[in-house]
Amino acid sequence: MTTLRLGDTAPDFEQDSSIGKIKFHEFLGDGWGVLFSHPADFTPVCTTELGYTSIVSGEFAKRNAKVIAVSVDDAESHRKWIEDINDTQNTKVEFPILADEDRKVSTLYDMIHPNASTTATVRSVFIIDPAKKVRLTLTYPASTGRNFNEILRVLDSLQLTDSHSVATPVNWEDGDDVIIVPSLKDEAVLKEKFPKGYKEVRPYLRVTPQPNK
């Protein structure tokens, strides 16, 4: 199994889910995708994660991103678990949970780490862009819940930096100042791209207001 790396094409697949059969690339369409795995149904940390993802689902939609979870249990188990999630987390889960009993998706995305568990998936996250390229990978231990605000933050950064010649600094949040990429040298181009101006801390470190705000 080859580990997926940034820039690789996200493997396509067809798999059952809590809402029926899903063809992954077709499901994503021309938008962004967030695929994230769970060790098993009816587990406490996963319940809180799926609940929170549902609560902020509108934030993903604003970013033209679809979320899709995966667990190695079957679709009927997922549907029963969703009832629990909705009840305990005060939400309504509407995004799909893939039913990966045959470990097809888990294997394609290298979600089972034998030294941690031979059966349960680790908590992996993949952000996939409209060209179906992997843009972020995160892997958490099974015992640690993920920070979905961070995943939204990375989406904001990726979408901003894809459309402007900038990078986002440490602890950046949407609306904060950004860094002009070092490769951009031409002063006329700099003035055109960054009409608000910029501060040159060092020749390689130039700070400017976020250009799309």
Residue 105 lies in a domain: yes
> Element (H or E) spanning 161, and its range?
helix 148-163
Q: Is 131 a catalytic residue?
A: no
**Residue 169 per-residue DSSP state:** -
Q: What is the CATH number of the domain that holds 137?
A: 3.40.30.10
Q: Over the Cα atoms of the chain, what is R_g?
A: 19
Catalytic site residue from 10, 28, 34, 46: 46
Buried b or exposed e, range 2-15, using 16+ CB within 10 angstroms = eebeeeeebeebeb
Q: With a cut of 60, say whether residue 176 has pLDDT above it.
A: yes
Residues 49 and 22 in one domain: yes
Q: Residue 121's pLDDT is what?
A: 56
Are residues 47 and 84 in contact, defined by beta-carbon separation less than 8 angstroms? yes
24 within a domain of the structure (yes/no): yes
How many domains, the chain?
A: 2
Give the domain extent around 182.
164-208
The 10s digit of each residue's pLDDT in 14-44 is 999 999 999 999 999 999 999 998 888 999 9
Q: Residue 118 has what pLDDT?
A: 46
- Among 143, 140, 170, 142, residue whose Cα is nearest residue 157: 170
- 61-99 pLDDT tens trace: 999 999 999 998 899 999 999 999 999 999 999 999 999
